[in-house]
């Protein structure tokens, strides 16, 4: 039997020789996360929810994703609370409800999740579920930035440059844009370079 037909036979039998490791990784990850979630691992539920939310390795299902985020949040995973708040704010897999979103973002931020603080800052900045308040937005963006959330640093830079909710300061804006850039935020890098050029 020619060599290529031997390889084809082995592929059909076991698939071991010609299957790229990365191709099998996603189903394996789904299985691991499903087991973890069923065993009560809150972070596993949240991460499984993200797989369903993005349709990675499974059929996308926003409703199931939201249920998994809720399990994660109820189990004590603050990132699950943050994402659950986000899906409530945009009505993805659940009814849009800004007040619910605020509750989950508060829980996440108070629990030490920087992304939850960032989302909370955004809701205050946009006036969703609460009166618009740039000062509060800046406070939450600052917490997010201190927790190494790049988006929190970037938006705090924007508020500092514009003087909304904080004292207008190009120096502070450069600091926050720079930190956002260091955390791999592309907008932070661009805004830093632009403001630096203007300041010359």
> Could you tell me the pLDDT band of residue 26, with boundaries at 50, 70 and 90?
low
The CA distance from 90 to 35, in Å, is 29
Mean pLDDT of 103-127: 97
pLDDT at 29 over 70: yes
- pLDDT of amino acid 199: 80
CATH 1.25.40.10 fits 1-97, yes or no: yes
Contact 44, 75 (CB under 8 A): no
Residues of the chain with CATH 1.25.40.10: 1-97, 113-200
At a CB cut-off of 8 Å and minimum separation 6, what does 200 contact?
none
Question: What is the average pLDDT across 99-107?
Answer: 98
Q: According to the CATH classification, is domain 113-200 in 1.25.40.10?
A: yes
**Exposed, middle or buried, 170 (CB in 10 Å: 0-12/13-18/19+)?**
middle
Element (H, E) at 50: helix 42-54
When the pLDDT of each residue in the chain is averaged and rounded to a whole number, the result is 88
* Contacts of residue 39, Cβ cutoff 8 Å, sequence gap at least 6: none
Query: Is the pTM of the predicted complex or chain greater than 0.85?
Result: no
Cα angle vertex 17, ends 14, 20, to 5°?
A: 105
């Amino acid at each position: 039997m020619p060599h290529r037909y031997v390889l084809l036979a082995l592929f059909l039998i076991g698939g071991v020789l010609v299957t790229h490791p990365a191709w099998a990784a996603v189903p394996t990850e789904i299985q691991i996360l499903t087991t973890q979630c069923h065993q009560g691992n809150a972070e596993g539920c949240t991460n499984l929810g993200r797989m369903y939310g993005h349709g990675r390795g499974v059929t996308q299902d926003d409703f199931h994703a939201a249920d998994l985020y809720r399990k994660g949040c109820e189990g004590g995973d603050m990132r699950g609370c943050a994402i659950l708040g986000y899906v409530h704010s945009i009505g993805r897999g659940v009814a849009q409800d800004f007040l619910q979103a605020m509750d989950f973002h508060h829980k996440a931020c108070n629990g030490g999740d920087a992304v939850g603080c960032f989302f909370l800052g955004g809701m205050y900045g946009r006036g969703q579920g609460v009166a618009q308040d740039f000062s509060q937005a800046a406070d939450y963006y600052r917490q997010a930035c201190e927790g190494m959330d790049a988006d929190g640093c970037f938006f705090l830079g924007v508020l500092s440059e514009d003087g909304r909710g904080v004292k207008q300061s190009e120096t502070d804006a450069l600091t926050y844009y720079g930190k956002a850039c260091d955390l791999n935020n592309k907008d932070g890098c661009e805004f830093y370079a632009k403001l630096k050029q203007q300041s010359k």
